[in-house]
Amino acid sequence: MKRTVAFLLALLTLLSLCACSAKEESIDPGRAGGLRLSEGDLFPENFLSFDGKTVSFTEFRYYYLNYRDSYLKEDPDHFKKDGANETLKQEILQVLLDVYSVRQLAAEHKVSLSEDERKAVQEQLDQIAELSGGDEAVAAELEKSYMTEGLYRSMMEYAALYKKLFNTLFGEGGAAAFTDEEFLEYYRQHYLAVQQIFIPYAEGENRTSHEKTMAEIKAVQDKLSAGEDFWELVLKYGKDERMGDYPDGYYITEGQAEDVLYETSRALAVGEVSEPTAGETGLYLIRRVEMREVRMLENRDTALFGYTDSYNEWHSGAYDDVFYRLYREKGKDIKVEYSEYWDMVTPESVY
């Protein structure tokens, strides 16, 4: 049971999406909680609308309360700050707008879930219920995250729709997929290639205090100044065991190296070598090198579609950024209408 519940909660975290209007995709999320006001508790039927289509209070509540709890966990006094609640409401509004925009894009590209795809979602739900001990057990777990079964199913269907639209736009032959020329241009603008000589800090030294390590890397720098080949010095003195496998250099973009190392590398001209640069674990001499087209093309899938690194951290690809810009741009044209209940939402009133 614990294992299944852990899986369920992990899935809830991954599906940070909700379902808004769009007839063929929408599912009644059901009712959960409401607003606690001086005149009594109520569930707003018409809480918010996008282009005249109602956004369920249950959907808004799910995000609002989870975000609220996250802020309170970091700082119990967070909502005592001026404007904190309004900022939170605007954050949730943007989440909902993003989802609605994606649905509009899907409709424009004639992307919807087939009956088989809907059945696959239902089979997943049935399997979760069976492994968790039945519908009541699932509902109890969902309630802990301010979720309803209807909203959870709606999220799963939305996640499937999102993936299908993404593949339609960016898969092979997709409407927004890069040509080879477009990819290479993108890569040249966002990536660079570097070789590096890395010397780890001596015992007891760190980024701000490293005289012994500096003396060691300065000795390597002197050999370079005397005319020795940088790559030969990499192989002879560098302590990065992986560097030797990449004579063409590491191909990196923002977020794939420590900020100071990336910024240092980006500031170099091709062929130029940096001054000793302090990273988290040691000092670096960095040489920027020319990128080779064959290496760029080898990195095409990870650059475009993203990847998970050895630390299990996700790095988004170019298509994630393009997709984000597409639906954010569409969201600017959506007409938002607020009910009287919008101004009544506070961390205390929503339950």
pLDDT per position as a tens digit, 62-81:
999 999 999 999 999 999 99
The verdict on 15 and 114 lying in the same domain is yes
Cα dihedral sign, 53-56-59-64: positive
Is residue 317 included in any domain, yes or no?
no
The verdict on 170 and 225 lying in the same domain is no
User: CB of 253 within 8 A of CB of 190?
Assistant: yes
pLDDT digits (tens, 9 = 90+) for 161-218: 999 999 999 999 999 999 999 999 999 999 999 999 999 999 999 999 999 999 999 9
What kind and span of H or E run contains 262?
A: helix 259-267
Is residue 313 included in any domain, yes or no?
no
Is residue 182 included in any domain, yes or no?
no
Is residue 284 included in any domain, yes or no?
yes
For the chain, helix (H) and strand (E) counts, in that order, are 13, 11
The verdict on 33 and 170 lying in the same domain is yes
Is residue 64 included in any domain, yes or no?
yes
pLDDT value at 11 more than 80:
no
pLDDT digits (tens, 9 = 90+) for 239-286: 999 999 999 999 999 988 999 999 999 999 999 999 999 999 999 999
What kind and span of H or E run contains 54?
A: strand 53-55
Mean pLDDT (whole number) for 36-46: 91
Model pTM? 0.79
pLDDT digits (tens, 9 = 90+) for 302-313: 999 999 987 888
The verdict on 115 and 40 lying in the same domain is yes
The verdict on 85 and 221 lying in the same domain is no
The verdict on 196 and 173 lying in the same domain is no
The verdict on 215 and 136 lying in the same domain is no
pLDDT of residue 121: 86
Q: Give the separation between CA 294 and CA 262, rounded to whole angstroms.
A: 22
Where b means 16+ CB within 10 Å and e means fewer, 241-271 reads: eebeebeebbbbbeeebeeebbebbeebeee
The verdict on 228 and 98 lying in the same domain is no
The verdict on 64 and 106 lying in the same domain is yes
CATH code, domain with 239: 3.10.50.40
Is residue 309 included in any domain, yes or no?
no
The verdict on 165 and 234 lying in the same domain is no
The verdict on 25 and 166 lying in the same domain is yes
Is residue 307 included in any domain, yes or no?
no
Residues 6 or more apart whose CB falls under 8 angstroms from that of 127 comprise none
pLDDT digits (tens, 9 = 90+) for 106-123: 999 999 999 999 898 888
CA-nearest of 290, 296, 297, 263 to 279 is 263
- Domain span including residue 266: 192-290
Residue 53 backbone dihedrals phi, psi, to 5 degrees: -105, 130
pLDDT of residue 6: 42
Residues 6 or more apart whose CB falls under 8 angstroms from that of 203 comprise none
Domain count, the chain: 2
Percent of the chain beyond pLDDT 90? 77
The verdict on 46 and 171 lying in the same domain is yes
Is residue 350 included in any domain, yes or no?
no
**How long a stretch of residues is the chain?**
351
Q: Give the separation between CA 328 and CA 318, rounded to whole angstroms.
A: 15
